[in-house]
Chain A
Amino acid sequence: MSAVIASALDAVLQHPGIWRRSASARPHVRALSTGNAELDAMLPGGGWPCGAVSEILFEYDGIGELSLLMPALADITQRGQRVVFVTPPYIPYAPALAAHGVDLRYVVQIDANPAEGAWSAEQCLRSGSCGAVLSWLPIADYTLLRRLQLAAESGDALAFVFRPAKAASKTSPAALRLQLHTDAEQTDIEILKCRGNLDRRRPVRLRCHT
């Protein structure tokens, strides 16, 4: 009798959605390498989490917030998946993207007002036909981010949301939150939140020498 129960329980525990703390130190997170080995080592899945929202918080333009994503975007476009820029603040400059190895044929830019921008980002994520969706949402709130998170899950796409640094204190449903700090010398990447990170001793701040 007990053997039957044990085997049934085993079958349940085999389910990929179930993770047992005691079984392994690392939960299974599907991720795409960031292209930066040190940063990969700090993230539980070893990169940007797939099918989830990653938030990037920054104060000033031009501190390397976009080049952080470039290796991943190059990888996605070279696999023939689309990358969508939703309401970027400036023109994504084609020669620079190409120089980073991004295949421009798979890059799409969407211009819209903020409300339509959020709608477009959600549509793109939910469709399942985009590899990554980058959106600049100055007015994003918890509900909107939650919607994007669900859309990214159902479409299995990478969602990157760029927000101003002052949003760092607000709660967010994003799977990963990074904040960029900068001074005249260097840029630091701080991991504010990271789903699946159970190792408290893991460093949360990375110095990037510029």
Chain B
Amino acid sequence: MLWVCLHFFDLPLRAVFEESERDGLCAVAEGPRQRQHIFMTNANAQNAGVRPGQPLAAARAICANVQARTRDIATEQRLLKSLAAWAYRFSSQVSIAEPDALLIEVGASLHLFGGWPKLEQRLRKSLARIDYKPSLAVAPIPAAARALAGHGDDYFIDKPDPMLNALGYVPISHSGLTDNSIALLYNVGLRTLRDVFALPRPELARRIGTKEIDLLDRMRGLKSDVLALYEPPSAFNNRIELDDRVEAWPPLLFPLRRLCGELSLFLTARDGGVQHYEIVLDHEDRTTTRVLIELLTPQRDAKALYELARSRLEHAQLSQPVCCIAVFAKDLPELRPRHKDLFEPRREQGLDWPSLIERLRSHLGDTSVRGLSGVADHRPERAWNFDDKSLASPNRVSHSIARLSPRPLWLLRQTIPLRSASTRIVAGPERIESGWWDGADMRRDYYVVQTGEGQRAWAFLASGSKDGWMLHGWFA
């Protein structure tokens, strides 16, 4: 096992200050409302003389334009969680080390990424894209990686002995011990972890408590660490608040494209696809419009998801101005990418069958494109049914349909009286009498009839009667 620790030291600042504000004099304060003290400052505030630990009033006295905001731990946790979601693409073992660090197991996939230097480059590049610059440390023990990352940047240690050596140089103020223990040890004259490790264990335990001893043991690997691993959420629910009130669908496409991109990333990280997702449009009067998108097969391609959502959105009626757009996906099945033949000839502007069907369905509506199947029933209306399973993949066994007397290729949706001057019976009667068990009882005598125009009709008489021809189909 090899753990990377990413230490996001400025997380409290990021939680309360926007990116554009962080160039100013920023400070984060914490503590009881009446007697807040500075917890963290940015470089500018530091240069102006604001220091962590100062009472807020003192900081304001030193530097009048310092912007101080109360620490927001909930937002910090949320940021860490989103970072964990980001880190999940590098490893399945990601652990959040509160308050401000992430642990990622990379030993298993180091070879895959082409060694640590390459992986490090990738991590840093990917982090820079979302504007984070954490300090990184790699160690075989998670708690040690954590302590090293707190102390400095760019450690890569994959053996226990050099790790112990490096840990020895970590000052106790950065070791992750509680403030009380640090103060106590510092006052005794200890400066680094090496000094602490050298102390006899029972005496140390009596002074700083077993909890701290436990941490020191975990750092050195004397005791195994139990980490709660991050699990990616099982549902996707991202929303974008719109600045303006939007009354038509075209301005919604830009945020929709972004949301579909995020959904696609989310699905890639989960190695899954989505079959049902929803666009939720919030209106000002707290009502919502929901546009459901149902697909035949799971998808995760951002462009396809966007195109399908877009054509559904175009048909949606917006009764009220929209102030927020969200995409919600809960049912995330496994994605099996379709196999393509290596030598399959590629057609220009061609569309494979699943994409074609999805395009038609999204344009015409889900119930407009149907498959057909036969049903084992003697009643003509019930001897067939729509069957949408075959639309996606025709791999099921086809029903064998008993060969009956000739059946017409066209069946009328509703039987109508047969109106024709000169009709001639070609074949029949065929008595169909069935359905007494389910209430749709029928007793009919079917005939093949030829009309004066030469049409062949499938018509029936109620059994026993001689008149009242009803048309049920055409032998087209």
Q: Residues of A at under 8 Å CB distance from B?
A: 59-67, 70, 80, 82, 88-100, 103-112, 116, 119-120, 123-124, 126-130, 154-155, 182-187, 210
Contact = CB atoms under 8 A, between A and B. Distances in A.
Contact of B360 (A65, A97, A110): A110
Nearest to B458: A62
Interface string B140-151: 000000000000
Nearest to B364: A112
24 contacts: A60-B455, A64-B456, A67-B475, A90-B411, A90-B473, A91-B412, A93-B383, A93-B407, A93-B410, A95-B383, A96-B408, A99-B406, A104-B373, A104-B390, A104-B399, A107-B372, A110-B368, A110-B369, A123-B351, A124-B356, A130-B353, A154-B349, A184-B454, A186-B454
B56 to A, nearest CB: 66
B351 A104 contact: no
Query: Which 8 interchain pairs have the tightest Cβ spacing?
Result: A62-B474, A182-B454, A94-B384, A90-B410, A66-B476, A62-B455, A105-B394, A127-B351
B409 A127 contact: no
A179 to B, nearest CB: 14
Interface in B361-414: 363-364, 367-375, 380, 383-387, 390-391, 394, 396, 398-399, 401, 403-404, 406-413
Given A93-B384, A99-B404, 14 more contacts: A62-B451, A63-B456, A66-B410, A93-B383, A93-B411, A93-B473, A94-B374, A98-B401, A100-B409, A105-B373, A107-B371, A111-B370, A184-B450, A210-B454
B452 interface: yes
A61 B351 contact: no
B413 A90 contact: yes
Contact of A92 (B399, B409, B451, B457): B409
A108 B353 CA distance: 12
Contact of A104 (B357, B369, B372): B372
B350 interface: yes
Contacts of B473: 90, 93
A155 B349 CA distance: 9
Nearest to A155: B350
B206 interface: no
B416 to A, nearest CB: 11
B453 interface: yes
A119 B396 CA distance: 30
B339 interface: no
A34 to B, nearest CB: 16
Interface in B2-31: none
Interface in B52-84: none
Residue among B359, B386, B456 facing the most chain A CB atoms (10 A cut-off) = B456
A92 B372 contact: yes
Given A61-B474, A112-B364, A89 B410 contact: yes
Contact of A129 (B350, B372, B407, B474): B350
Residue among B369, B452, B457 facing the most chain A CB atoms (10 A cut-off) = B369
Contacts of A62: 408, 410, 451, 455-457, 474-476
B385 to A, nearest CB: 8
A154 B350 CA distance: 8
B360 A120 contact: yes
A108 B349 contact: no
B401 A95 contact: yes
A67 B473 CA distance: 14
Contacts of A126: 349-351
Contact of B404 (A95, A104, A124, A128): A95
B409 A97 contact: yes
Given A90-B412, A93-B411, A98-B401, A63 B476 contact: yes
Given A95-B407, A110-B364, A184-B450, A65 B374 contact: no
A61 B455 contact: yes
Contact of A67 (B352, B364, B409): B409
Interface string B464-476: 0000000001111
B151 to A, nearest CB: 60
B401 A91 contact: no
B347 interface: yes
A83 B411 CA distance: 18
Nearest to B375: A94
A191 B309 CA distance: 46
B384 to A, nearest CB: 4
Nearest to A124: B356
A103 to B, nearest CB: 6
Contacts of B370: 108-111
A60 B452 CA distance: 11
Contacts of A185: 454
Nearest to B413: A91
Nearest to B357: A108
A123 B359 contact: yes
Contact of B410 (A59, A61, A95): A61
B476 A64 contact: yes
Nearest to A108: B371
Contact of B350 (A96, A112, A128): A128
Contacts of A110: 360, 364, 368-370
